[in-house]
Amino acid sequence: MKVTLNWIGEFLGAERLEPENIASVLTMSGTEVKKVEYISDKYKNIIIGRLVDFSPHPDSDKLSLCEVDIGSSKLNIVCGAKNFKKEDRVAVALPGAKVKDITIRKNKIRGQISEGMMCSEMELGLSSESEGIMILSSNCEIGDSFSKSVGLDDVVLELEITPNRPDCLSVMGIAREISALIGADFVVPEYDLQKRLNIDSKFKIEIEDYDLCPRYSAKLFRNIPNIKSPQWLKNRLILCDVRPINLIVDLTNYVMLETGQPLHAFDKDMLYSNKIIVRRAGKGENIITIDDSIRILDDDALVIADEDKAVAIAGIMGGKDTEISENTKNVLLESANFYGPSIMRTSKKIGLRSEASNRFEKKIDPMLTVFAIRRFEDLLGKVANFKTEECIYDNFKKVERERKINLRVGKVGQVLGKDIDAGLISDILTNLKISNRIKDNIIEATVPSFRYEDLQREIDLIEEVARIYGYDRLDSIPIPASDRRGKYSLYQKTIKDIRQALCDMGLVEVINYSFISAESLKKFKINLEDRYKNNVKILNPINEDFKLLRPTLLPALMKNIKDNINHNIKDIGIFEISKVFKKNSSGKLPFEINTLGMMLTGKAVQKGWNEKERSFDFYDLKGILDFICKRYYPSGSLKIKEKQYRFFHPRVSGTVNIEDLEVGIIGKIHPVIIEETEIVQDAYYMELDMDKFINNIKETKKYKFIPAFPSIDIDLAIVVDNKIKSEDIVNEIKESGTELLKKIRLFDIYRGEQIEKDKKSMAYSLNFRDDTRTLKDTEIEIIVNRILENLGKKFNARIRE
Amino acid sequence: MQRSEIEKQEASILFRDKPYKIMSKKEKNISGLEKKIKIELDNFTRELETVKNLIELDNLRTKYIGKKSFLIKTLKNIGNLPDDIKPIAGKKSNTVRKKIESDILIKEKIFKNIEYENKLRKEIIDMSLPGRSTAAGRKNIISQVVEEIEEIFIGMGFEIAEGPEVETDYYNFEALNTPSGHPARSLHDTFFISENILLRTHTSPVQIRYMESHKPPLLIIVPGKVYRRDYDVSHTPMFTQIEGLVVDKCINFSNLKWTLETFVHEIFGKDRKVRFRPHYFPFTEPSAEVDVSCNICGGKGCRVCSGSGWLEILGAGMVDPNLYSFVGYNPEEVSGFAFGMGIERICMLKYGINDLRLFFENDLRFISQF
Ligand SMILES: [Zn+2]
């Protein structure tokens, strides 16, 4: 919200308001000043001139050569407008002035010297369009600064008003706040707010539901003068980002900005009858609003209607039919109070927010309505010399708007950590217009109507005391020592360790949005997998890309490698630890599974002066998996069970299992998907359910004796059919190897000329040991022979010569 | 033992017999042999000094302890000596032989070391060549900063709590003093899953969940992803927050100030100033926004801090007593404070990052910088 300092000053009994000081006290009391804008700076080097004479430009029909008196000298200015005459007062931008971000310079226009520029209202930022230059009042002093002459010698404060302070959504509210902060008087015009109801009037206001409209005040203005808004009024509106329209509308806006009470003016003659009804809309009822849109309402929207139809959406926007026009003679001025949550709901539903709805949403003070009408009346009288004896119609439900709160002085100290003197607390409250008296260390406070919604409890008053006293004056005290044990849980620590381990192994951690498009699930054929069905849908997504909560990290990681490949980074190992989502039964929160996704693509080893280049393959990924599993399941065996997923290569696709627990999937991205994604290099993906993985870690480490007797290593190379799996061979070796066999390690696979086609040689290193004695070669020989014999029986394996 | 000492010792063994003693014939025979042996040793010692390489040393070995050398021959012929001289003669010549052998070995080692060293010196290794590469992994900047913050608070006695990213309206709004129709709701543009289920707009619901299941004293921080329906240059629909909550018997606003000042000094440096400004949040009372002095301009005001000299980094306040009634605490018995911050913003201020969208584009050229 914007307010100007001069405007605020009208309500303060202070000599002079120092802009920076006001900004600082407001900010430090909770009304943050985002920006301080010195308007006179914008009009630097723009001064008042008198048009002495003018003649046509010799080389142009459109231009004129003007002689302008600026007091200290006379300037020659080439001008394109025609709307001036001799002796007119004009705004002259001298060289160095900035007009619409362009710096004015002395130059030649079609051969004629021009020593400045005569400005239009548009160029001066005072209207969105203008014909010709701005002609000023003849009262303006020649040579004076333009901003001073037209009342723009002002400072605009841009404020952030928190939602709990609807009373501050106005110039008067801010002035009242400043008065409490700097100790100046708050000066309000005194109007008669009581003598208002004309009993035997023909005009009626009917309120169907006082909960939605606690008060509706209105007044008729007959035969209003058809004049334009004065410049000062327009200037203030412009400085507060409100576009001037016509006198009546400008005044409603002015009073709203000033008092915080939204006003709406109807063209009385366009109303069907002498009756205003505040009612709920009929289902599907529609209205064309003043912005020329058709608004379709439902039955929880509140409308202002005559006996024929709705003429305004209550508190949000008026209807086109009853809008004030140039021909309006009689005006019905509405000053009402509507129920905030209802206005908020309707405004959200129809997607329309206005200055008025923004104020109503925050629950403004119903005591303001008549004051605002009086203020309007007062200003209309001043601006247009207009007087009316009409009454104010006022329909309302009587409500309690005064609240008594007891504030314990001791509680203030308890909450703030610093004892504050009762007298000081009392003074602070008094300055905030909260009347109070001190009684036995309790302050009995009475909250005024304009703070009724905001100040309800003792704690609310403590906050008032704290913010006016100043947070910077409060102490800084360590938390009292109590039962503290700062630490990570085992789960959190494990996640952190795994993240660190993966980084140490050369992987980079990515973080992607939790959203995914249905399209992208389709593209990777994820939608066809049972595992990833039952997705969580977002009712109001930003767009199609954000429609679902992702059931897997795969598409995001694919996108990451593609994006990076496009940046010519082709050798990539990335991982992400994030939640994936799955629908739960209706009404329940979805399942959230903390998931580790990992993808490798490109080269594992770059070609180097001492290294051979090598691409990532499945075993790089499996190696990382092995590493993590060994760390947390030192004696649990990791198994990859073949299982086909449509997004994986049909032969390199499986589930990850620790013993019998399935914890994830692993595989090579299907070459067709790779092609379709235009990645042109193999990619490997693995996904682990971190919750399952971590929550099943049971192993507690226990010391095992370091072997006291030497072990014997035997290398064994066998030739088997190509399709025999290493895992099966290993299992058989284990089986036949007795408990003396402690380790098996595959160290070579050979296919080629030295053995038959369709066969491979597998070379294993076997390690035998007994913890109680030194083994004899002969006994190992017997075991090895038995292993060979069994391998022969089972896999038709023979020893490689 | 030093070499000279060894020599001395050996010599004392050799000439144990006192020279002034009147000698018998037998003694004369022995002393003749002794003399010869001594001369042999003296010659050897002298020649050893002049030896320049392993070949010369080998020649020396042949000369003094080779098959045809005097010493070896003497030792071989000891059997022919008279019985009474035998043991002494054998002992003496053997001692000298051993001494010569060991001297040669010592010398040999010296020569071999020199030779080895010379050989090594001929090898050419360019130590300026690049080392064998190790893939450079990297934690995401968000994880790094989250962990850094976690560790700061763990040091102050906090635990880490977590909660669901998809929440009920109750935990996200209602139990946080923001019932339907509350004006503060319009500040949170929310993604809905159903009428009452939504993507949490802040990490604050975990405050309620944690208090429901724990009794004071409690000190927690809650890191996590949050979602708001905003997508432009300065908003991403998902971002990261860290929430904090402390509840105990007599927690006050001054404790809040200390905690956050300590935190800011840890993460941004002791030289930064901290400012608490009154603000409004539905679930804290009194509420504050916390600013840290701008490091770009040193507080004078610049583009980064929009001229104010301060950078906003935290929202905080005393837990509104209403919240305690939602979780079954007695507001007259306990008090506490809560705070929250956006991690991406902390990262941006800490590292001078000017574009929020970089955090979720996962450009490795970005991630690898931190
Ligand atoms: Zn700065």
Structural domains in chain A, sorted by start = 2-40+155-182 (3.30.56.10), 44-149 (2.40.50.140), 204-396 (3.50.40.10), 403-470 (3.30.56.10), 490-695 (3.30.930.10), 712-799 (3.30.70.380)
Say whether A487 and B275 touch across the interface (CB within 8 A).
no
Q: What's the rounded mean pLDDT across residues B138-155? A: 96
Q: Which amino acid is at A23?
A: A
CB atoms within 10 A of CB B8: 12
The three-state (H, E, C) secondary structure of B324-368, written as one string: HHHHCCCCCCCEEEEEEEEHHHHHHHHHCCCCCCHHHHCCHHHHC
How far does residue B311's CA lie from ligand 1's centre (Å)?
A: 8
Rank A533-537, B8-12, B186-190 by mean pLDDT and report only the highest: A533-537
Pair A75, A115: CB distance under 8 Å: yes
A476 Cβ under 8 Å from any chain B Cβ:
yes
B135 Cβ under 8 Å from any chain A Cβ:
yes
How far does residue A157's CA lie from ligand 1's centre (Å)?
A: 20
Q: Pairing between strand A98-99 and A89-93? A: unpaired
Please give the sequence-ordered ranges of beta strands (E in DSSP) within chain B, or none if there are none: 159-160, 166-168, 197-199, 218-227, 238-248, 274-281, 284-293, 310-319, 335-342
- Please state, in angstroms and rounded to a whole number, the distance separating the CA atoms of residues A406 and A389: 45
**pLDDT for residue A121:** 87
Which of A342, A268, A262, A265 minimizes the C-alpha distance to A302? A342
Range in A142-151, A518-527, B145-154, B361-370 the model is least confident about: A142-151
B300 Cβ under 8 Å from any chain A Cβ:
no
CA A15 to chain centre: 41
* Tens digits of residue pLDDT in A436-470: 999 999 999 999 999 999 999 999 999 999 999 99
Q: What's the rounded mean pLDDT across residues A17-31? A: 93
**pLDDT for residue A195:** 65
Q: What's the rounded mean pLDDT across residues A77-81? A: 86
* Tens digits of residue pLDDT in A750-765: 998 888 889 999 999 9
What distance, in Å, lies between the first and last C-alpha atoms of chain A? 90
Which of B238, B236, B241, B216 minimizes the C-alpha distance to B162? B241
**What pLDDT band is residue B29 in, cutting at 50, 70 and 90?**
low
- Percent of chain A at pLDDT > 90 equals 68
CB < 8 Å to B287, chain A: 463
- Please state, in angstroms and rounded to a whole number, the distance separating the CA atoms of residues A155 and A42: 11
**pLDDT for residue B93:** 84
* Tens digits of residue pLDDT in A665-710: 999 999 999 999 999 899 999 999 999 999 999 867 788 888 889 9
Say whether B139 and A564 touch across the interface (CB within 8 A).
no
d(CA B234, nearest CA chain A) in Å: 15
Which of B312, B336, B157, B314 minimizes the C-alpha distance to B253? B336
* Tens digits of residue pLDDT in A358-376: 999 999 999 999 999 999 9
d(CA B191, nearest CA chain A) in Å: 6
**pLDDT for residue B27:** 64
More confident residue, A15 or A576: A576
Query: In the numeric block, which tokens belong to residue A748?
Result: 């070579």
* Tens digits of residue pLDDT in A103-115: 988 888 888 888 8
d(CA A501, nearest CA chain B) in Å: 9
Residues 215-244 of B with CB under 8 A from A: 217, 219, 225, 227, 229, 231, 236-238
Beta bridge partners of A664: A656, A688
User: What is the interface size between A and B, counted as CB pairs within 8 Å?
Assistant: 260
CB < 8 Å to A564, chain B: 362-364
- Please state, in angstroms and rounded to a whole number, the distance separating the CA atoms of residues A794 and A782: 18
More confident residue, A313 or B16: A313
Q: Is the pLDDT at A140 greater than 90, yes or no? A: no
- Assign 3-state DSSP to chain B and report helix, strand, coil percentages, each to 5: 45, 20, 35
Nearest to A474 among B225, B253, B259 (CB): B253
Q: Which amino acid is at A537?
A: K
Which of B142, B337, B346 minimizes the C-alpha distance to B224? B142
Average pLDDT, chain B: 88
Range in A429-433, A645-649, A776-780 the model is least confident about: A776-780
Q: What's the rounded mean pLDDT across residues A76-95? A: 88
Edge-first strand order for the sheet with B238-248 is: B159-160, B218-227, B238-248, B335-342, B310-319, B284-293, B274-281
**pLDDT for residue B6:** 53
DSSP A368-395: HHHHHHHHHHHHHHHHH-----PPEEEE
Q: Is the pLDDT at B23 greater than 60, yes or no? A: no
* Tens digits of residue pLDDT in A30-45: 999 999 999 988 899 9
Residues 261-280 of B with CB under 8 A from A: 261, 275-280
Q: Is the pLDDT at B132 greater than 90, yes or no? A: no
Phi, psi of A784 (to 5 degrees): -60, -40
Q: Is the pLDDT at A512 greater than 80, yes or no? A: yes
**pLDDT for residue A503:** 96
**pLDDT for residue B1:** 45
* Kind plus residue range of the DSSP H or E element containing A413: helix A409-416
Domains and CATH numbers, chain B: 3-121 (no CATH), 141-367 (3.30.930.10)
DSSP A768-792: E--SSSPPPHHHHHHHHHHHHHHHH
- Please state, in angstroms and rounded to a whole number, the distance separating the CA atoms of residues A405 and B276: 27
Pair A713, A765: CB distance under 8 Å: yes
SS3 A604: strand
d(CA B278, nearest CA chain A) in Å: 4
Nearest to B277 among A471, A569, A589 (CB): A471
**pLDDT for residue A611:** 86
- Please state, in angstroms and rounded to a whole number, the distance separating the CA atoms of residues A595 and A662: 13
Which of B79, B73, B78, B70 minimizes the C-alpha distance to B36? B70
**pLDDT for residue B97:** 87
CB < 8 Å to A477, chain B: 252, 254-255, 257-258
CB < 8 Å to A490, chain B: none
* Tens digits of residue pLDDT in B295-329: 888 888 888 888 889 999 999 999 999 999 999 99
* Kind plus residue range of the DSSP H or E element containing A795: helix A777-795
Range in A58-72, A398-412, B142-156, B287-301 the model is least confident about: A58-72
A225 Cβ under 8 Å from any chain B Cβ:
no
How far does residue B310's CA lie from ligand 1's centre (Å)?
A: 7
A361 Cβ under 8 Å from any chain B Cβ:
yes
Range in A623-627, B82-86, B209-213 the model is least confident about: B82-86
Q: Which amino acid is at A18?
A: E
* Tens digits of residue pLDDT in B270-284: 999 999 999 999 999
Phi, psi of A451 (to 5 degrees): -115, 15
- Please state, in angstroms and rounded to a whole number, the distance separating the CA atoms of residues A675 and A521: 16
Say whether A28 and B278 touch across the interface (CB within 8 A).
yes
Please report the ipTM that was assigned to this predicted complex. 0.87
How far does residue B293's CA lie from ligand 1's centre (Å)?
A: 8
How many angstroms separate the Cα of A309 from the Cα of each of A208, A209, A273, A286, B316? 15, 18, 11, 9, 49
**pLDDT for residue B19:** 44
**pLDDT for residue B180:** 85
CB < 8 Å to B138, chain A: 503, 508-509
Measured CA angle at A380 (ends A376, A386), to 5 deg: 135
* Tens digits of residue pLDDT in A181-236: 998 999 999 988 876 565 556 788 999 999 999 999 999 899 988 888 888 999 99
DSSP A120-188: PTTTTTS-S--SSPPEEPTTSPTTSBHHHHTT---EEEEEE--TT-GGGSSHHHHHHHHHHHHTPPB--
Q: Is the pLDDT at B12 greater than 60, yes or no? A: no
DSSP B52-110: -SHHHHHHHHHHHHSTTSHHHHHHHGGGGS-TTTHHHHHHHHHHHHHHHHHHHHHHHHH
**pLDDT for residue A754:** 86
**pLDDT for residue B11:** 46
Q: Is the pLDDT at B2 greater than 90, yes or no? A: no
Say whether B255 and A505 touch across the interface (CB within 8 A).
no
Q: What's the rounded mean pLDDT across residues A388-393? A: 82
- Please state, in angstroms and rounded to a whole number, the distance separating the CA atoms of residues B286 and B282: 10
Q: Is the pLDDT at A57 greater than 90, yes or no? A: no
How far does residue A158's CA lie from ligand 1's centre (Å)?
A: 19
CB atoms within 10 A of CB B332: 10
Average pLDDT, chain A: 91
Residue whose pair of structure tokens reads 């009756």 in the numeric block: A275
A506 Cβ under 8 Å from any chain B Cβ:
yes
CB < 8 Å to B133, chain A: 605-606, 608, 611
**What pLDDT band is residue B20 in, cutting at 50, 70 and 90?**
very low
Which of A161, A159, A177 minimizes the C-alpha distance to A468? A177
**What pLDDT band is residue B336 in, cutting at 50, 70 and 90?**
very high
